[in-house]
Amino acid sequence: MEARSKFVVDVLNEGGFMAFDVSRRVQTLYSHRRKVWGLVIASFVLYLLSSGALLRSSPIAKSSRVYSPEVVARCRALDVKPAPTEEFYRRKESDRFVLGTKATLVENATIWTGDDDGQEVFNGDVLMDKGMIKWVGKDSSVWKKTGGIDLTVVDAKGAWLTPGIIDVHSHLAVGQAPASDGADDSNSLKGTSGSSLPWLRSLDGLNTHDEGIRLAVAGGLTTSLILPGSANAIGGQGFAIKLRPTSERTPTSWLLEPPYGLNGSAVDYSKKPRWRHMKHACGENPSRVYGQSRMDTAWDFRKAYNKARELKEAQDTFCEKVLNGEWDGQSKFPEELQWEAAVDVLRGKVKVQTHCYEAVDLDNFVRLSNEFKFPVAAFHHAHETYLVPEVLKRAYGDVPPASAMFASFSRYKREAYRHSEFAPRILHDAGLRVVMKSDHPAIVSRYLLHEAQQAHYYGLPSNIALKSVISTSAEVLGYDHRIGYIREGYDADIVLWDSHPLQIGATPVQVFIDGIAQFQSPHVVEKPSSFRSVPETPNFDKEAKETLEYEGLPPLIPQRTIVDQAMAFTNVSNIWLRKQASETIKLHSFSKEEEEEGVVVVEGGKIICEGSESMCAMHLNSPNLIAIDLRGGSISPGLVSYGTDLGLQEIGMEESTIDGAVYDGFSKKIPKILGGDSAVIRAADGLVFSTRNALLAHRAGVTSSITAPTSSGFLSGLSTHFSTGAAFRTTPGAVVQDVAALHVTIGPARQPSVSTQIAALRRLLTSEQKGELGYWLKKVVQAEIPLVVDVHSADEIATLLLLKQEVEAVTGNALRLTVTGASEAHLLAAEIGEANVGVILNPVRPYPDTWEKRRILPGPPLSDESALVRLLRHNVTVGFGVMGGNLPSEISPWAARNTRFDVSWAYIEAGGRVTKSEAFALASTNTERLLGINSETMLQGDMVATQGGDLLEIGSKVVGIISPRRARVELL
């Protein structure tokens, strides 16, 4: 290159001389021509040489001429992982800041920040401004002295302050409340590539008019990931929303960090992308919906991701050419709109959220993640992850999937059968992340925190339990740079609580989203100072160990059954006894001033002495006496469950394990062999004993159940009262009362019309009927057994009150009418009280999932009274059903075990307007009386021995069942 350059210079120099004599002009002319041609040739060589050097020095040699900067930028960004931009960390206000929002200073709070693995707690202050947390510290006086800030000051008075609750799995707003045919957008059943639909987006069906949103905020929720349903192997893309109404009133304005380009705007490829979310589902759901096997679903996954991999490889090949200067400038970037999100899964830009229960499906999906090389953010439901922790650790990527779980919702289908209440603690002990989620409306999202409370009760450390609905949730979603912690620079999403968040019934005093208070005039219940502390919980180490030993199905029979020996419960604080005259619960406390401990001596299942050690000395000196120390515990009445199919099934969605539904006279002809229209079904004839749901309820102090025949129509039949701890129907005391009440259902969801249903009921009650149905209707009109009507609408309840008067005028007898369900009964509390009609609230905490339930009384912080308090104020006898979420009775028996928590919650929420005696009666004597259990039977009710407190205290543990009617004591 150096010699050739010198040649060019020489030629140029020679070309600058001029000859003046003619003889040399010709020579000079020829010489000049040669030199010009030499110059041209030399210039061309120089061009070639310089071009070669450029090619060697630039990776995009032709870009300055034909390459689009957007194409180059897009190729360079192909494998850039999602992360906040540098600008985000320098932000002075939130992208969700609402102009005009005043700064708020919360002072004197007990702050749980989420830091130090959820263990950092201190008394201090938090300043919110511009939609962000601007300052966290212990002395906020400087901010109050600053004149430049228009400041609202909130004195927390020592109350707990946490980041907002985050739900990682919700169908809020895509399956709205009240439900309607025009707004069910959680699932698509139009798979065109098997059951894989990665191109669908939950955002496109999100309805901000959902009544559940306001209620979710009342539970402390500030952010929810809205996922498509689980009908499909790949159900589509999920979107995170902040649960704050906006002036724009659109779903888009609710989004938290939506992907760039969502609304068609140009994507800036120089910025790091934002996280996306993709819903997957293994196991029974896609198999049931599409009539296929697990093998088919696995192939759907593989086929979809193979398609995505082919597209990804085409993109990689294209971009390799672009970045190596080999692109022809004509071909386009390979892309297909349907599959672009699936390609991003393979590029690690999507949080994979997978509905997956059993080991077979978990192992399958982990295998898939390694085959196609994508990480899994979380397995949802994850009922068997605790049994296979090493499988999760084999998933592709550096961080094993989290388990997003229910606390106790289980056994509703086969793949949920082995779930354990100890799963969260076992997973944590195995070094895996645990998230509690709602799957709203399966568990109503307002009560997501209760899932963490239960997980804590069964052994999950308190710091991890709180993280499971806050900080870990934020991490799993990829938003832990802005939510899930109380840190300077984070979004101003915080909740002030009326008690420690892990206490039963903990309720927000105020919720801030983007620094905006969500309640104008919140109703606050004053609670004892002891509720400010982290609740103490029992030791379940033995039970957790047995759960693993028996692969999720440990034996549930008592450790010891005492029939013919006396036994003593010592160190008893109090005893709650059923009283014959008033059919109520009365307290007998053992004086703390006495030096002697309280003692209760039992023989043959009956109490033979209660008092001090000296009072019961004769019994305590028996040589064969068995003694159990209750450690300051209590003996309480056994609770009764109502409102589910408990005792009529083992696994609700498995036909081979259930009694089945009765014939509906409106929809089909009842066979003659049954007696035709005069037939009536008895639940007692279909009882199944020793089911896991019944035995678990028994171990939780729910010692009996009143269950009606399963029905989806008008006439259900005759309910029965049975023991949850009995082995078989032939066991003495197994069936407490063969027939309790006659049950019917009134509602618009059934055919024919509501008015036709009322007309049918009027005819049955006012005209003589034949056969077995006529026999039992006669007992109803003669007030020998109750008529129990499942109904929710206040309008329909009002009609029933008038029908009661009409029937009584015809028969001359007072009709024993009980309404169950009763979501809108509070609107007629005075009229119901005057009519002497009983009410069983089922569910015990209402939710407006259908139109006839829309006018609920939500309770604090949205209303001063709950439905319970309102009804009791009008002298209505109230009983309790269950809180099984927004679920049919067929798949709610698991919830029976939580009755003690439901009663405790109602008692606490009432704020002193309900005594503990009245609270016990809600799920014992009141429910029994309203459902037709006779007084003598009620007096023989079981009793429950608890260590560490009474049955309604979260720190207590059931250790024994005292059963007078079965003449035994069972030690658990």
How do residues 710-739 score in pLDDT, each as one tens digit?
999 999 999 999 999 999 999 999 999 999
Grade residue 662 by pLDDT with cuts at 50, 70 and 90.
very high
List all residues 6 or more positions away from 156 whose beta carbon is below 8 Å from its beta carbon. Answer: 106, 107, 108, 109, 110, 496
Orientation of helix 899-909 relative to helix 448-457, angle to 10°: 120
pLDDT tens per residue across span 583-615? 778 888 886 656 788 999 999 999 999 999 999
How far from 217 is each of 252, 512, 519, 523, 714, CA to CA, in Å?
19, 9, 9, 14, 36
pLDDT tens per residue across span 103-155? 999 999 999 999 999 999 999 999 999 999 999 999 888 887 776 678 999 99
pLDDT over 70 at 530, yes or no:
yes
Question: Residue 44: what pLDDT?
Answer: 45
Phi, psi for residue 495 in degrees, rounded to 5:
-130, 130
pLDDT over 80 at 18, yes or no:
no
pLDDT over 50 at 5, yes or no:
no
Mean pLDDT of 912-926: 97
Q: What is the pTM of this model?
A: 0.92
Q: Which residue has the higher pLDDT, 101 or 150?
A: 101
Question: Residue 191: what pLDDT?
Answer: 65
Mean pLDDT of 307-312: 98
SS3 790: strand
pLDDT over 90 at 502, yes or no:
yes
d(CA 603, CA 625): 10
Question: Residue 147: what pLDDT?
Answer: 66
Q: Which of 663, 636, 667, 653 is closest to 569 using CA atoms?
A: 636
Question: Residue 591: what pLDDT?
Answer: 66
Question: Residue 886: what pLDDT?
Answer: 74
Asked if 311 and 335 touch (Cβ cutoff 8 Å), the reply is yes
pLDDT tens per residue across span 551-579? 999 999 999 999 989 999 999 999 999 88
Let me know how long the chain is. Answer: 972
Beta pairing partners, 961? 944, 970
pLDDT tens per residue across span 195-227? 899 999 999 999 999 999 999 999 999 999 999
The helix or strand, by DSSP H or E, that contains position 611, with its residue range, turns out to be strand 606-612
Mean pLDDT of 672-700: 96
Grade residue 582 by pLDDT with cuts at 50, 70 and 90.
low
Percentage of the chain surpassing pLDDT 70?
91
pLDDT over 50 at 11, yes or no:
no
Phi, psi for residue 862 in degrees, rounded to 5:
-90, -25
Mean pLDDT of 678-698: 97
Question: Residue 66: what pLDDT?
Answer: 56
Question: Residue 38: what pLDDT?
Answer: 54
Nearest 5°: the CA angle 163, 168, 171 is 120
pLDDT over 60 at 13, yes or no:
no
Question: Residue 594: what pLDDT?
Answer: 60
